Structure formats: C-alpha cells, structure tokens
A and B are shown apart, each in its own frame.
Chain A
C-alpha cells in the first residue's frame, strides 16, 4: 500500500433508482412502481414531443415494459435513471414502426393525398414549429429533442442510442436544417 493512492469509488447502489432497478432485476415488481412514480410524468412529456400525444401512453408503457427486461443492465453510473430511461424510450421510438400509421400513409398516398405526418394528432392551434417537428424523421426528432429540450450532450445522446457521436452530430445538423427549411416554407 505504500505510496499508492486510494481511489474511492462511489457506491451506486445508494441511489434510489439503482436500488430499485436492482430489485426489479431480481423480480421485485413493486420496484418498478417506484421508478414509474419518479419518472413517468417526465417521460410522458418526452413521448408527447417525439411521438405525439396520441401515442405517448403506449410509448410510456412500452418503455417500462422494456425496463422490466433490461433492468439488470443499468449500471448506476448516473445519479438517477432518467437519462437511461430517455435512452430506452428514444430507441423504442426509432425501432417502432407503427403499423396503423404506415397503413394510413399508404392509403393516403394511394389516394394522392398528403403525408399523414401532418394529419396525425394535430390540434388546430398547433404551431408551425410543432408541425415542423412532426415532419422530421423519428431519428432526427429524437436527437433534436434530447439535445435542445432535454439538454443532453451529443456524447450522452450517442451513449443513449448506442450510435457513434458522429451520427448524432449529423442527425442534429439535418434536423435543424429541415426544421428551419420547413419553418421558412410555411412562413412564406
């Protein structure tokens, strides 16, 4: 031990989310309720932004069901699990292909109508910016909301989505570009 510095590593198990997810990984379902109560409201808002209010409920449910399966993979590095939960939801959004939306898109294209991206869940008062956000692809929208609304760094987002940071930069750049183009177009 002589001359060697001791490195104290914080015990992540002390964090409530880490403890709860650890218990969940061992089969304690009540721990899921604790995690849900802490983060569900924030996840609903995120889901509403990236997927629309109409799908938010299903998306939140799917996220927590995924958490049940992968709770053991949470490493407790962050003080709470919100970023990790955002990542789970973000990946679900990208992986999901909503069959009804695809069908409706096909039907509307068949009919020569507009893309339903602007028709789904659109209250009359929704702004151009909101419509522009809805017009982005899932991948771009998720990255943009994580960066600009939730305040994560590109490195953090890359970790959440399990993609290279360069991919995040590219998606973010194109998301902003598309959104500005949409806004410019709709403002004219």
Chain B
C-alpha cells in the first residue's frame, strides 16, 4: 500500500501554515513550537498542511530504491579496492571518466554524439540480429566490440560512459573484443549475472534465462553469476552449466547449488596452479575475501619484521591469485 499525497485545500489558508514546515525543519524556537502545537489543535488548515508534509515524507520513504545485487556489490568492491591499491601505491590510475573539456562540436563529432545519445536513450531496446557481423560504432576510445548472434539470438549493445555493455537475453553470441590498455570495460550482461571481458575472443550461450556456456578462444573472461563465486577462464577453456541429473560425482555440497563450476568447466590447456584457484566449488568462500586475508597476512608478517615469511606468503598469494589486484605489490615483496 502506498501513501497518497495530499495537497491542503487552497480555500483553507491560515496565516500560520508556513510554520508547519518551519517546525518540521527545526527552524522554530521551543516557545514558538509550543505555541504552534496549541494552534494546530484548533486549526484544520494547519493540520492538513502537517498531514500533507508527513505524507510527502512517508511517500518518499516508501518509494522503491533500487539496491545493488550481490554481483554489483562485489564488482564495485573489486574495482574500488583495485583502484585504491594502485592509487596508494603511487601508480597512476587511469580516470574512470574522461576529463571534461569545453569544446565546440564540429559536425562530424556532433553526428557521433547524436549516435551515442540515441544509443543511450535506447538503453532497453532489444533487437534481433542476423548472423552477419555488426558494424561497430565509433567511440572515443580504441576499444571495439564485434558481436555476432546466431539465428534468433536476442541481444543489444550500448555504450555507457566508460563501459561497452552487451545485453544477451537469449541465444548464442560470439564476441571479438579489441581493447586498448586504458580502453573501455566490456561487460556482457546475461539474465543471471555478467561476464567481463579482459580482451579476448569468446562466445556465450544463454537459454531459458540462464547462462549455459561460456567458451574462450583467445584471452580471458571473468564470469560472475548469481549465487556463485566468480571465476576467470582463459584461452582454450569452456565453462558449462552442469546437468542437474548427471550421475557424475561433483564436489560435496553442490547438489542444491545452481552452478557448479568445478565440475562443469572443461579444461584443455590449464596449468595446475592457476586452475586450482579459478575452478572452485560454488560453496567456497568469496575469492575476494580469501584474497584480502592472504594480503593481510603478508602485511602482518612485514609489520612483525618476519621478512622471509612475508616473502614466502607473497609468493603463495601470487600462486593462488595470479590475477589478484595486489599482484604487483606482492610481486615486489616476493622478489
């Protein structure tokens, strides 16, 4: 049930009505407030104004605010810590947003901007594409995304600030990403999560609102799906959703979990050290938490003056988290 907003009747004005809002905002002295309280008991117009203001506040509080889902919270957490880590270590961090400059747009730039504006306003537009390659819009960075859908694949692509987003609703989509070092992020949003490209050639299959398969031909991608720990797979690897009725044994405790990467990923060319961390059971603790703990352990050893052990722990960090966002700092300590 939502609160109905009410406006005081215009013909019921009272000279003291303005004091209702003043009292609400703490603008009245205690004596003035006491006087107003006594007045409100007798004045219908002021009571109505009071109810109207309270109703407005209540309606605002009832207004649904989109909270962040677990995937978004983890994604931003990783980005924040990564940038903070780089910044505090004194390294230059590429700004997330380009610096604003006051420019006069020439006709060609205006046309490009118009395209960007149209793409932006058509954020939720869904389109069906043929298997023909899609032209890549010109952007201000050198990141380009070529996407090709098979058959009746439903997908769309938009540029949002510093991110190239591809929404895949259903079907099979092949992507080729060419990304500059400081280029835009590329995210493929699927119904049950997202896949972040790390500069690669890969394909994604979505059926019935769930991601069924992600295969990487070149480079790496990170897969973040609801209720599952994020995993990174690289060239030659394929992640597949397991078949629930499969008689093949899976890691303990995975039966009720919708995603079981450890049993579903087909490994072809993976070094044991890297796969041990990447291919983990879904009920394992969040990788970010483990990474934090490993990082903190190295710091604690350093603080305690146990340099050799810190070096060893840093090497352990690098072995367990080869893509960790503190790998450079750990690399310096491990030397």
Q: How does the 8 Å CB contact mask read for B65-82 relative to A, with 1 for contact and 0 for none?
A: 111100011011101110
Interface of A is mostly: helix
Residues of B within 8 A of A169 (CB): 25, 27
Residues of A within 8 A of B114 (CB): 107
Chain A residue numbers with a CB within 8 Å of B134 are none
In the complex, whether B96 has a CB less than 8 A from a CB of chain A is: yes
Within 8 A of B (CB), among A143-185: 144-145, 147-149, 153-155, 168-169, 172-173, 176, 179-180, 183-184
Residues of B within 8 A of A108 (CB): 117
Q: Is the interface of B mostly helix, strand, loop or mixed?
A: helix
- A16, CB-defined interface residue at 8 Å: no
Interface size of A as a range: 35 or more
Interface residue? A97 (CB, 8 A):
yes
Nearest B residue to A101 by beta-carbon distance?
B120
Q: Does A83 contact B (CB under 8 A)?
A: no
What residue in chain A is nearest B21 (Cβ atoms)?
Answer: A173
B7 CB–A CB distance under 8 Å: yes
Q: Are A176 and B21 in contact (CB under 8 A)?
A: yes
Q: Which residues of B contact A65 (CB under 8 A)?
A: 80, 83-84, 87
Chain B residue, CB-CB nearest to A121 = B123
> Interface residue count for B (Cβ, 8 Å)?
52
Contact with B along A109-137 (1 / 0, CB 8 A): 00000001001010000010110010000
Q: In the bound complex, what is the Cα–Cα distance between A54 and B158 (angstroms)?
A: 13
A121 to B124, CA, bound (A): 9
Binding site for B on A (CB under 8 A): 27-30, 32-33, 36-37, 40-41, 44-46, 48-49, 53-54, 56-58, 60-62, 64-65, 68, 97, 99-100, 103-104, 107-108, 116, 119, 121, 127, 129-130, 133, 144-145, 147-149, 153-155, 168-169, 172-173, 176, 179-180, 183-184
Query: What are 27 A-B contacts with C-beta separation under 8 Å?
Result: A29-B85, A30-B299, A32-B84, A33-B288, A44-B67, A45-B66, A45-B67, A54-B160, A56-B66, A61-B76, A64-B84, A65-B87, A68-B84, A99-B100, A100-B117, A100-B120, A129-B60, A130-B63, A133-B60, A149-B57, A149-B60, A154-B25, A154-B26, A173-B21, A176-B21, A180-B52, A183-B7
